[in-house]
Copies of this chain bind each other. A is one copy, B any other.
Amino acid sequence: MPVYTAPVKDTLFLLNNVLKLDSYSNLPGFAEATPDMVQAILEQAASFTEEVVQPINQAGDEHGCTRHEDGSVTTPPGFKEAYDQFCEGGWGTLTAPAAYGGQGLPYVLGTAFEEYLISASLAFAMYPGLTHGAVAAIEVVGSEEQKQKYLPNMISGKWCGTMNLTEPHCGTDLGLIRTKAEPQADGTYKITGTKIFISAGEHDLAENIVHLVLAKMPASPDNVKGISLFIVPKFLVNEDGTLGERNAVSCGSIEKKMGIHGNSTCVLNYDGATGWLIGEKEKGLAAMFIMMNAARLGVGLQGLALSEVAYQNAAVYARERIQGRALTGPANPDAKADPIIVHPDVRRMLMDIRAFNEGARALALWAGLLVDLTSKAATEEDRQQADDLIGLLTPVIKGYFTDKGFENAVLAQQVFGGHGYIREHGMEQFVRDARIAQIYEGANGVQAMDLVGRKLARNGGRALQAFNKLIQEEIASAKGNEELKPLAESLERSLGHLQAATMWLMQNAMANPNNAGAAAYAYMHLAGLVSLGLMWLKISKASLEAIAAGNGDERYYRNKLVAARYFVDRHLPDTASLRRKVEAGAETVMALAAEDF
C-alpha cells in the first residue's frame, strides 16, 4: 500500500526562507500567520492528510462511487468519515473570510494544505476543492443575501458546491450551451438541460450541494454573450436557513472513467429546477472565470501533489528493492545484490521528479502569496503587479505542472518495473489520477492559448515585463556570488530563449494568428521552465544563506543546491529546443487538408 508523508519541512523552508512570509506581517491576515502558528497548522494538516485521508485513497479507486436507482450516490468506504473529520477540523475555513465563518488566514497557507490533501487523495480532495471554487464565485459576484444564505454552510463544509459548465456537445466552447433558464414571476428561473462531467455532482458527504450552473435565458443571444450564472441548490433553502424541498436536479449516471474513481463525475439532469441568477444577467462567463482561475491554480497543484506522492513511493521502493549491482562495484558486497537506488538511471528518474517538485512547490506557494497580494498588498501598484503576475502564471501553473505531474507519476511508476503496472502497489493509480489534471478546467492546449493569446498581450505586455524584470534582478544579484553564478548564467540563457520566443510571437502572430496557435504549447513549457529556474535560483540563494547562518542541517541545504544544479543541467537545456519549436511557425502544422489526417 502506498505511503505518504507531508513535506512540512520543505513547505516551512519555502515560506520562511524563500518567500520570507514574515516580511508581509503588516498585511491583513498575515499577522496571525506567525512562524509558530504556520508550523502548527502544517503539522496538523500533515496528521490529518497522512492518517485520515491517505488510507482511504486506494480503496476509493477500487470501489469507486455507486449510483442507486433513485439517483442518489454513495461515495467509497471511508470517504464520509474522512469528510466529517475534514469539517470538524475546520479545514474548509482556513482561508475563508471571517465574515462568513472563515479563519481569514493567508491564501498561501491554504495552498500548502491543499497540496497535502491532494497528495493524500485527489479524488477526495476534489469534493472540498469544488466547494472552494463555488465559494470564490459567490463571494465575488453574489448578492449579500446570497452570501449570507450559502457561504457559512459551504465554508464549514456542511454543504458542498459544484461547477456546471460542460454539456454533451460542448466544453471549451461554452457559447454553444443549450441549458435554458426561464424567468418566473417570483424572480427565480426554471433551469432545464443536461450537464456532463460534473465533478462531485451528487454524493452523500454533505447535507446539500450548491450547483453553480451556466444557462441561457430565452431572450439572450445564443452565444457566449448570452450566458448567465445561476445558483441551483440540490435542496431549496428556507428563509430560516433550514433545508426545504428537493430541487429538480438529479444524477442521471456516473461516468466510467480512467481514474479519480473516488470522485463522482456525474451527468446532471435539470428538469425545470429552481435557480437564482447570481451576478449580472449575461455575465455568466465572467463570473465562472472567477471560479475557473482559482480552480486552475488548484488543478496545477494537483500536478505537483501527485508528482510528490508518486516520488515518495518510488524513493522507498528504490531503496528497498534489491536487484543488480552498482556499476562501480557492489554497494552491499555481503548481499547477493544492491538496492536499485545505486543505478544512475533509477536516480535520474528520481532526480527528474525531485527537481520539478521542489521548484514547483516554491512556484505554487509564490502563486498563493500573489493571490493574497492581489487584494491585500499595501499599495495599488503592488496589488496590480500581483494581479498581473498571477494572471500570467495561472495558465503556466495549470498547464506545465499538470503535464509534469503526469510525466512524473509515469516515471515513478517506471521505478517499480513490472510491479508498477500491478494495481496493488498503487503507482498506476497515481498515473490514472494525474491524467485528468491535464484535461479538466480547460485542457492544457487551452491554457497555452490563454497564455499566448490573452495574457501576454494584456495591458501592453505589462505582466511579462514585470516577470522579466523580477528574473533579471534575481540574476543580477546572484551573479555576484560564486556559487550562484553558474545557475544565474544558465537561467539568463533560458530567459533569453523566452524573450526571443516572445519577440518572434510579436512579429509573427499578428500576420498569421495560427503562428500563435502553433507556438503556444511550446511557449507554455518554455515559460514553465524559466519560472522554475527562477525558483531554483531563489531556493539556492536561501540555502546558501541558511548554510552561512549556521542554521544546522547543512546537508538538507546542500541537497537543495545539488537539485538546483540537476535542474539547470538537465531541465533548462530544453528551453533552447522549445524556442526552436516556437520559431518553427504554423506552416507545416496547417499544411495538410483536414481529410488527409
Interface residue ranges, A against B (CB under 8 Å):
166, 169-173, 175-176, 196-197, 222, 255-259, 315, 318-319, 322-324, 327-328, 336-337, 339, 341-351, 354, 406, 410, 413-414, 417-418, 420-424, 428, 431-432, 435-436, 438-440, 443-445, 448-449, 512-514, 516-518, 520-521, 555, 559, 562-563, 565-566, 569-570, 573-574, 576-577, 580-581, 584, 586, 588-597
Whether A341 and B589, one on each chain, are in contact in the complex, defined by CB atoms closer than 8 angstroms, is no
Q: Min CB distance, A196 to chain B, in Å?
A: 8
A172 cross-chain contacts in B, Cβ below 8 A: 323-324, 417
A406 cross-chain contacts in B, Cβ below 8 A: 410
Interface SS of chain A: helix, strand, loop or mixed? helix
A428 cross-chain contacts in B, Cβ below 8 A: 257-258, 432, 435
In the complex, 23 of the A-B residue pairs with CB atoms within 8 angstroms, ordered by the A residue number, are: A170-B337, A171-B418, A172-B324, A222-B336, A255-B422, A259-B421, A315-B597, A318-B597, A328-B513, A344-B516, A344-B518, A347-B590, A349-B445, A350-B597, A413-B435, A421-B435, A421-B436, A421-B439, A562-B592, A569-B584, A569-B588, A573-B581, A574-B577
Q: Which residue of B lies closest to A318 (CB)?
A: B597
Q: Which residue of B lies closest to A197 (CB)?
A: B418
- Complex Cα distance, B415 from A171, in Å, reads 13
A584 cross-chain contacts in B, Cβ below 8 A: 569-570
Contacts A170-B323, A341-B594 given: A328-B514 contact, CB under 8 Å?
Answer: yes
- Complex Cα distance, B494 from A510, in Å, reads 32
A521 cross-chain contacts in B, Cβ below 8 A: 345, 348
A432 cross-chain contacts in B, Cβ below 8 A: 258, 428, 432
Residue among B222, B517, B597 making CB contact with A341, cutoff 8 Å:
B597
Whether A581 and B576, one on each chain, are in contact in the complex, defined by CB atoms closer than 8 angstroms, is no
Q: Which residue of B lies closest to A567 (CB)?
A: B588
- Complex Cα distance, B423 from A563, in Å, reads 39
Number of identical monomers bound together in the oligomeric complex: 2
A351 cross-chain contacts in B, Cβ below 8 A: 588-589, 592
Residue among B349, B589, B597 making CB contact with A319, cutoff 8 Å:
B597
Contacts A513-B328, A514-B344, A594-B341 given: A169-B417 contact, CB under 8 Å?
Answer: no
Whether A435 and B417, one on each chain, are in contact in the complex, defined by CB atoms closer than 8 angstroms, is no
A592 cross-chain contacts in B, Cβ below 8 A: 347, 351, 559, 562
- Complex Cα distance, B438 from A590, in Å, reads 32
Residue among B318, B414, B513 making CB contact with A439, cutoff 8 Å:
B414
A589 cross-chain contacts in B, Cβ below 8 A: 344, 347-348, 351, 566
Q: Min CB distance, A99 to chain B, in Å?
A: 36
Whether B581 and A570, one on each chain, are in contact in the complex, defined by CB atoms closer than 8 angstroms, is yes
Closest 5 A/B residue pairs (Cβ): A344-B517, A327-B513, A569-B584, A258-B428, A573-B577
Q: Min CB distance, A560 to chain B, in Å?
A: 11
- Complex Cα distance, B350 from A315, in Å, reads 35
Other CB < 8 Å A-B pairs besides A171-B417, A176-B336, A421-B436, 11 of them? A176-B323, A256-B422, A342-B594, A343-B445, A343-B517, A344-B589, A345-B518, A414-B443, A420-B439, A562-B591, A562-B592
Contacts A319-B594, A559-B592 given: A327-B517 contact, CB under 8 Å?
Answer: yes
A336 cross-chain contacts in B, Cβ below 8 A: 175-176, 222
Q: Min CB distance, A345 to chain B, in Å?
A: 4
Q: Min CB distance, A320 to chain B, in Å?
A: 10
A570 cross-chain contacts in B, Cβ below 8 A: 581, 584, 588
A343 cross-chain contacts in B, Cβ below 8 A: 445, 517
Whether A595 and B562, one on each chain, are in contact in the complex, defined by CB atoms closer than 8 angstroms, is no
Whether B588 and A566, one on each chain, are in contact in the complex, defined by CB atoms closer than 8 angstroms, is yes
Contacts A258-B421, A414-B445, A569-B581 given: A324-B588 contact, CB under 8 Å?
Answer: no
A448 cross-chain contacts in B, Cβ below 8 A: 345
Residue among B577, B586, B594 making CB contact with A576, cutoff 8 Å:
B577
Q: Min CB distance, A223 to chain B, in Å?
A: 8
Whether B176 and A586, one on each chain, are in contact in the complex, defined by CB atoms closer than 8 angstroms, is no
Most buried by B among A259, A566, A593: A566
- Complex Cα distance, B514 from A234, in Å, reads 61
Most buried by B among A438, A586, A597: A597
Contacts A414-B445, A517-B343, A588-B351 given: A422-B257 contact, CB under 8 Å?
Answer: yes
Most buried by B among A350, A517, A581: A517
A256 cross-chain contacts in B, Cβ below 8 A: 422-424
- Complex Cα distance, B261 from A455, in Å, reads 44
Whether A449 and B257, one on each chain, are in contact in the complex, defined by CB atoms closer than 8 angstroms, is no
Q: Which residue of B lies closest to A351 (CB)?
A: B589
Contacts A418-B440, A589-B344 given: A171-B323 contact, CB under 8 Å?
Answer: yes
